[in-house]
Every structure is written in C-alpha cells, then in structure tokens.
Structure 1
C-alpha cells in the first residue's frame, strides 16, 4: 500500500534536505528519498571536504613561512596524506550526521533508496534494484543533483585518471599532476596539490583560467598561480590520455596548433558536470530536458503539473547555496506564500584556491554587453592595513556600477578571505543598494572590508587610500 504525504523530495543534497525541512516548517507532511548519503555531493564529496583539504594546505603554507611571523621551525615539515584525508572525511561525516538529526527533528520521513517518478503523484523507491516502497504526494520535488562530465577519450579510471572523488581521497600525494579544466573545481584541486608540493599543469580550453570570472580577476589569478609554480596552458585541448607504467601521458593541442606531450603521475578531470536526469522516471512526462538538465520556471516548476526540480539538476550556476534557495522558493510557492523568483545575478560565487576568488553580479564586460554605461572602482590589498598585517598583501577588489543610476551591477575580488567578504556585496545587491548608500556605510577599521568601501569610492574618484 502506498504511503501518503503532502510533498516528497527525491534527493537529500543541499537543495533537497533544505526543501524538505522548509516544507515541514510550513506544516506539510514530508518524505525525503536518498539513495546514498544525506547532504549529497556537496557535503560528502564536494564543498565541505574540499575546504577541509584546502585548510590543511593553508596550514602547511603558513608553516613554511613561519619565519615571516617570527617563528623558527627546525627540520623538515612532514605531510601525512592519510591524516589529511582522514580529517576531511571526519568533517564530512560529522555534518552528514547533522543533516540526519535536522530531518528527524523536523519530522521528515526519510526513505533509504533510489527514488523515481512512477506515475502521476507517485514516487517509487528501489534498493539494490528491488522495489521497497511506493510514495504518493500531490507535490514532488526532484533534487537528484549532478555528476562529473566525461569526454570521449578522457574517461576516468579511478586509478590514474581521477574525478573529484578520487582526487579527494588520495592514498599518497602525486609528485606530478595534470588538471583538465580551470573552473572552480579544477583550480581548487590544482591549488591544493601545488601547495603540498606537486608539480601541477592546468589545461583550459578557453582563453583564460577561471573563465566565468571578470577578466581582470582571471589575469590576476593566472599571474599568482604561475608565481606559485603552476604551469598554465590556456586555449589548449587535451586530445588523448595514454596510461603508462608509472602514470599518464597526455597529448595537448596548444593554442598555436602544435601538440605537446605531458607525462604525469595522475590526471584530474574537471570539465563540468551534467544533471542526473536518467532513471528518475522522466519518460512519459511533460518534464523537458535540455543538454542534460531539467528546464524549470522561476518557481522551479517543470512542464509536468505537480513536479518541480531544483539545484544542479536544473543547470548553472552549480552552487549549493543556489540549490538551497531554490528549495525554499519552491516549497514556499507551493504553500501559497508571496515569494520572488530567484535572481541569478544576486548569487555569489566562491573559489577557495590560494588566493581566494569571489564574485557576485555582472562582470565589467557583461555589464557593457548589456548596454550599461559603467563606473568601475578598484582597490589593491597592498593599500589595506589588515591585509599587510596578515601577511597577505596580494589581491584586489573591483566594483562595477551603472553610471546613470548608481546601481551596483557586480563585484569581483581576489585575495585573502574574499569568500567571506563577498556576502557584503551580495546583501547590497539584494537590497538594490546604490553607490551613495555604500559610500555612507561605515566600515570598521582595521578590516579587510575597508577595501570594499574604497573600491566603491574609487569608482567615483573619491578613494582615500589609493
């Protein structure tokens, strides 16, 4: 006999579990189906454990520069790869357990298995290929996430050619590494392994690293990565990967049309992700799929009445906080609340490499392409007392305003702790703040946030310390 609920969520990642909890808060009887780990890829194999790894790399970097801060460390600093990985997995495990507790606290019924649409208002749950439950609900939210994209001839093998999962749990640290793709995932792993001593080569098919970022930020980042010893190859394509006795030989077609062979111990593939649209019962429904992602409207509704989709399943930006917010919008709309559709340009993006990169809104080029006349402000970390005191004086803050209205169109940062700073501009954009209001906001001293203020002032020729 089918079990009845008001709403069922398929997938327990940062979109799915948040949607389930918010629906429960709104007095709905909620079920959540998860086939593997509560918290999804983000918590178990993405956002959280990678930050734990990067924190270990940051500590190692600081220890190497202890002398700059007045300390002397005698002898070689040893890296225990197993201990680094163990800490990362412990962090992920702790938070996954926390999600389980939150769902129980909010009286969400969790089904362990694979969920798929099984007719109008029906979700069928299977485990190890066997039917275990059937759930009925008026509203069904699909939050099945995404997986790493693979390209013909560049298939991962889990041994020498890695996706993010294998890169997160190395048995030992490779001495040399090729990273294919320079988006957030690729660059974070490149930064982690380079900091811990690996020789790292990054190949990017587009003409610059971190290609979704503002061009000035990309250029600054490439210069910093090169200074750290990374080899950056932009406008290049990995044509094939040949496994050897001790590693992998990559054939790379460079921007000049010539080919170069690069031999490394390991390869990390970071060429994007595709939605998990298969085997979730979309056949014979009105749900539309475009380029491996489900199409939705501003309230996360699909073409099939009563079926909704959120998060990475629906396409870019592939961010946990975007998925969570979509989950809230979706269930609040179902509950009849007055909610606004998600404004994508208000979603901050963060890359936790060294130096960190963060942004929100339009790049300068995108703003001009949309017809805006712009005022652009910049402020360097070198002009900030807190940055100098931290020993991190390399970086910049850039702001883009509409010249006529004073609207903040975008903000772009690179440097220490910018992934924490960016939310200030995120709030400003959500509140539709103008340059005047930002100029009249008092920023505390001494803080890195003062650079945000100075960048705004610089856009109008009023910077004090630059």
Structure 2
C-alpha cells in the first residue's frame, strides 16, 4: 500500500463522507475512502435507519390500541417478538449497507478498511488490520468526515444494558418495563416515544425549560402535551443530581458540573430479555425546577444529552489544523467548507453550528465539497432551509426560524397557528398537533419559518422548505390548491389566512 496517490482522500464513510466520495467519483475524480468500521456510519448502523425502523414497529403497536379503543376494531396485541423485530430491523440496515457498498464500487471509489492518521495537509497514514499500513497522498484535497459519538456523563458510563446511549439503546437486550431518558432533544424524545409504545413506563428529563429547546415554543408545548397524554412523565427544568446502579458497589463519579454519582441501592426490577431477568437497574434522583426531589427507579437509563465530534487519534496538528473549544473543526470558508489549510475540507458532525449535525445536511455538504474539488462552483448549503424532524409519536418537523428567534434576529413578525384537528383529516387521525407559520407582515411578507406537530409531518415539511428557501410569501403559497381531505391542507389553510383569504380560519 506504500506510495498511493489519488485525487481525493475522504476519511470517514458516514453520510457526509460517502456522499463526498460518490459525487467526486461521478465527476471523474479518483477517490479513496478510508473507514475503520462500516460505510454508512452512525446514521445507517446505529442511528437514523435502525431507530426509524423500530419507530415504525412502535407505530404499528400503537395502531392496534387505536383500532380497539377508538374505532371499535376488536384487535388485541398478544406480544412483541423481540427477536423477529430485531431481525427485520437488521435486514433493513443490511440491505441499505450493501446498497451503499455497491454504489461506491460501481462509482470506482477505492474503499480502504483501516484507521487513518494525518501525516501532512494531504497525506494520510492508514493502518489496515492484518495488512500492515500504507501512506496515501491526495492531489486535490483531503476531506475530514469522522463524525461524532454520544456525549457521556461522568459516573454514567454506558454498560450496553442498564446504562445506554443512543448508539446502543436499540441493541440492548430485550424490552425494559421502565426507562429513564435523560435529555429532551430529538434523540431523547424519539426513544421515549418508542419505549412508551412498547409498554414501558417512561420518564423524560430535560434540563432546559422545555422539550426540543431549539424549536419554536409552540412545537415544544404541543409535543409535551401529546407525550403526557400518552402517559410519559415529562420533567423539564430538571437536573439529575444522583444516579445509582442498583445491585453494584458504590463508586465515586468524581468532580463534575453534573454532580452525578454512582453507587449501590436496593435491587431494581430487572431488564426483560425475553427469557431471563436481571436484578440490576437504575435509581436516580432528579431535582425539578420548582424544588423538591424526585426519586426515579428504572430498569434502563438512556443518556441522550447530545453528541461530540470524533477527532481522537486523527493527529490534526500534522495537517496544521486544530479543533475549537467545543471540539469542532471549523471551516475558513462556509461556502466551500474548506479549512484554513488549503485543500483540506470538513463535512458532517465535525462542523460547528450553523451546521446541524443531521444526515441530510451532511449529504448536501458532501455534494458541495465534491463539486468544489472538481472545479465547479456549487451553491453553499443554506442551513436556514434545512428541515429538522423528530420521529416521535406525534412527529415534529420544522424549517426556518421560530417566532422568538425571528424577533431576536430583528424581524417584524406575524404568526398563525392552526390546530390539525381543525381539518377533517386531522380529526380522522385524532393525534392533535398543529401548523404554525412565522412570516413578515402582510400577504407579500417573506415566510421565515414553518413548524409542524402531528402524524406523518416528516413527509409534509418539503413544501415549507421550498417556501423558506425561495423567500416565498403567504400569498405565493395560498394560490396553490391543497388536496382535500389531507393533513397538508392545514398548511395551505394557514397560508391562506396570512394572505388575507382565510376560508375556515380568520385572522
């Protein structure tokens, strides 16, 4: 492997890395992709794809209850065959993985399975297990796409069974009867929703004053109300002060800003694995915003407090690079995502905000970098027009600015909220939810943001994405006819009202 030279070297085969590699190869560049695990990265193997597969199964479980309780369809759910559910999930992941491998191969991308270390601005030392190592040099550019990993807390290191992160929550043994989810962002909300659908008692704890704290306040309010209606205990403005693994000896968690300790306690109920019972679990103490203390016992603790960039062992200094204070690798030029070192680019979770750490944003970043390396002049990623989706039940989907964020940015703002239950199809689904549009005043004011809560709203956000990206006005959208009865007609009705043409709703 010594002395290899190619046009482009990509380190990391997740969504940002493999999209860069595919597009660059399609444009005629020689590409080497170095990945130490499996191409597809976290999203395909531990995150987006397997979690959404499991959430679809949860939706089917919820459907049985709805059929019986709301529609008079006397259906019952005997049990969930965990092994069959897992097999279907893994088959979906496997087929997607083979598809990505096939696309890379067909495009002529050389995939090297190994660990990359920078040896210069465009030179990479690759350690290949069982085959020694080699050095690769890129003529045009080096792309860093090493992704992220779940943030952990001192004293709450994941065990893969009783204490888990989003990377291993779906791969822990069996279905627990109770779960404490620490973190009320998109990941925490999704996992809380899944486990509740599967029959677990769920407590969701968020340190901020509301769930999904980066979203519009009305999104948080509607979602919180829906989750509570489903029987999920939601504690916001709450701090975890102590957590103990029951059935183990007490250990010190050390000094940290979290104040978290681990230790022993009385034996918990145990995790259900289908055939076995374990005596261990978690006992946590939570301090709510209004004072007092709540003691929560659960079979499993899911720590979902964010993700951190992965640069360990990459030796950024050899290429003249360094991370910022949060561990990100910032670009010098957001239009091309090139760093301060010419010819070195960064995509995906290594990027700081305004990048969103979302797979679909990484795809777009990969296209920009590949086309730049090929000598084209692509449009920069418009992060304001990247949709944000939470696949809970109900779902949330947003694009652009929330109302408070728009005012903070100096815009004069009007907003309109329409409950989904104001439409016939919303009544059919019966899950509540809403459409909220934030815009500048007047029928011809710009649409600044659109925010949805309800069933299947992840499939409804694209229209609004175009409205925000193209600086459309309520009048622009209002002239287009939405099918009736659909959930999406609630979007059309919301814009009609802001355009001064409200039919069922009046401003």
- Category of TM-score, reference length = shorter chain: over 0.9
* Shift in alpha-carbon separation, 1:76–1:63, aligned structure 2, 3 A: closer
Determine the C-alpha separation between the residues in 2 that align with 1:53 and 1:104.
29
Match of 1:188 in 2: 190
Which sits farther off after the overlay, 127-136 or 59-68? 127-136
Counterpart pick for 1:400 among 438, 453, 477: 438
Counterpart pick for 2:180 among 178, 199, 213: 178
Per the TM alignment, residue 427 of structure 1 is displaced from its structure 2 partner at its CA by 1.6
Whether 1:310 aligns to 2:347 is: yes
Determine the C-alpha separation between the residues in 2 that align with 1:172 and 1:13.
28
Helix, strand or coil: the match of 2:174?
Answer: coil
Helix, strand or coil: the match of 1:165?
Answer: coil
Whether 1:458 aligns to 2:493 is: no
Normalised to the residue count of structure 2, the TM-score between the two structures is 0.88
Whether 1:266 aligns to 2:305 is: no
Per the TM alignment, residue 371 of structure 1 is displaced from its structure 2 partner at its CA by 1.1
Helix, strand or coil: the match of 1:239?
Answer: strand
Per the TM alignment, residue 82 of structure 1 is displaced from its structure 2 partner at its CA by 2.1
Per the TM alignment, residue 431 of structure 1 is displaced from its structure 2 partner at its CA by 2.2
Determine the C-alpha separation between the residues in 2 that align with 1:43 and 1:173.
22
Determine the C-alpha separation between the residues in 1 that align with 2:127 and 2:243.
37
* Aligned counterparts, 1:161-240, within 5 A: 161-240=163-242
Per the TM alignment, residue 210 of structure 1 is displaced from its structure 2 partner at its CA by 1.1
Whether 1:370 aligns to 2:409 is: yes
Determine the C-alpha separation between the residues in 1 that align with 2:432 and 2:202.
21
Whether 1:142 aligns to 2:144 is: yes
Match of 1:25 in 2: 26
Counterpart pick for 2:283 among 245, 249, 268: 249
Per the TM alignment, residue 8 of structure 1 is displaced from its structure 2 partner at its CA by 0.9
Determine the C-alpha separation between the residues in 1 that align with 2:383 and 2:72.
45
Which sits farther off after the overlay, 122-131 or 425-434? 122-131
Determine the C-alpha separation between the residues in 1 that align with 2:403 and 2:55.
30
Whether 1:104 aligns to 2:142 is: no
Residue-by-residue CA offset, 1:409-431 (whole Å, 9 max, x unaligned):
00000001110101111122222
Helix, strand or coil: the match of 2:244?
Answer: strand
Whether 1:281 aligns to 2:315 is: yes
CA RMSD across the alignment: 1.6
Determine the C-alpha separation between the residues in 2 that align with 1:131 and 1:313.
28
Normalised to the residue count of structure 1, the TM-score between the two structures is 0.96
Gaps of 5+ in 1: none
Match of 1:59 in 2: 60
Counterpart pick for 1:300 among 312, 324, 337: 337
Gaps of 5+ in 2: 248-279
* Aligned counterparts, 1:315-326, within 5 A: 315=352, 316-326=355-365
Per the TM alignment, residue 313 of structure 1 is displaced from its structure 2 partner at its CA by 1.3
Which sits farther off after the overlay, 315-324 or 343-352? 315-324
Counterpart pick for 2:470 among 397, 410, 431: 431
Question: How many residues of Structure 1 are paired with residues of Structure 2 in the alignment?
Answer: 464
Determine the C-alpha separation between the residues in 2 that align with 1:300 and 1:196.
42
- Is the 2:160–2:169 contact (alpha carbons within 8 Å) kept by the matching residues of 1? no
Per the TM alignment, residue 460 of structure 1 is displaced from its structure 2 partner at its CA by 4.0
* Shift in alpha-carbon separation, 1:193–1:330, aligned structure 2, 3 A: same
Helix, strand or coil: the match of 1:63?
Answer: helix
Helix, strand or coil: the match of 2:316?
Answer: coil
Per the TM alignment, residue 162 of structure 1 is displaced from its structure 2 partner at its CA by 0.4
Counterpart pick for 2:366 among 327, 330, 334: 327
